[in-house]
């Protein structure tokens, strides 16, 4: 049965998985990134997360509220923790020097696997989308991914904004 699932998965899904894997893997190496880049990926992933929840479960108030609540709670939880690794920001170029991290790869793959599992499960048993435990559980998971993505970017924005408040080089850890 698992072979049938993989066989019936459209090829573009596997191409997307490879592209997302490459994107996440590229973040595991030390790199520089602009403010635009550190904003673009979390916003895109949040959009994909919301899109996944809405296309699977609709735009009902419960689904959207659960997604939003999970996103906000994870955002607040991650924002309370100090970001690991040294972050330096060069205001002249508006670029960050970032240590590599495996976290983005895990988040990207987690979001992909969630969307894939929901798609497979609802294709095999369409009635699942109407079961509150299934739809609200996965909407929560989608929202949690969004909160983490947005909080990680917000940490970097906080570093950049701190520079605007006091001149000099900012190095956060």
Summarised one tens digit per residue, pLDDT across range 147-167 is: 999 999 999 998 888 875 655
User: Where in the sequence is the domain holding 18, given as residue range(s)?
Assistant: 2-172
Q: Give the number of domains in the chain.
A: 1
Nearby residues of 33 by Cβ (< 8 Å), 6 or more positions away = 95, 96, 98
- Model confidence pTM above 0.75: yes
- Closest C-alpha to 103, from 16, 45, 163: 45
The pLDDT, as a whole number, for residue 85 is: 65
Question: Could you tell me the two tokens for 59?
Answer: 């735009």
> H-type helices in the chain, by residue range?
2-8, 11-26, 35-57, 61-80, 103-124, 132-165
Helix axes of 35-57 and 132-165: crossing angle, nearest 10 degrees: 160
At residue 162, the pLDDT reads 81
Residue 5: per-residue pLDDT: 87
Q: Which residues of the chain have pLDDT under 50?
A: 169-173
What average pLDDT does the chain have?
Answer: 90
Residue 87 DSSP SS3? strand
pLDDT of residue 118: 97
């Amino acid at each position: 049965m698992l072979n049938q699932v993989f066989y019936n998965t459209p090829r573009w899904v596997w191409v997307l998985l490879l592209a997302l894997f490459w994107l996440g893997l590229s973040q595991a190496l030390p790199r520089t990134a602009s403010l635009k880049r550190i904003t673009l990926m979390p916003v895109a992933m949040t959009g994909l997360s919301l899109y996944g929840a809405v296309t699977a479960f609709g735009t009902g108030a419960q689904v959207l509220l659960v997604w939003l609540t999970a996103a906000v709670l994870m955002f607040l939880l991650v924002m309370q923790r100090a970001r690991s690794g040294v972050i330096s920001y060069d205001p002249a170029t508006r670029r960050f020097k970032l240590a590599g991290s495996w976290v983005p790869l895990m988040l990207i793959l987690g979001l992909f696997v969630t969307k894939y599992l929901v798609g497979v499960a609802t294709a095999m048993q369409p009635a699942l989308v109407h079961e509150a435990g299934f739809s609200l559980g996965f909407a929560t998971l989608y929202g949690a991914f969004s909160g983490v993505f947005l909080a990680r970017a917000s940490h970097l924005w906080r570093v950049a904004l701190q520079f605007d408040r006091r001149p000099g080089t900012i190095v956060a850890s």
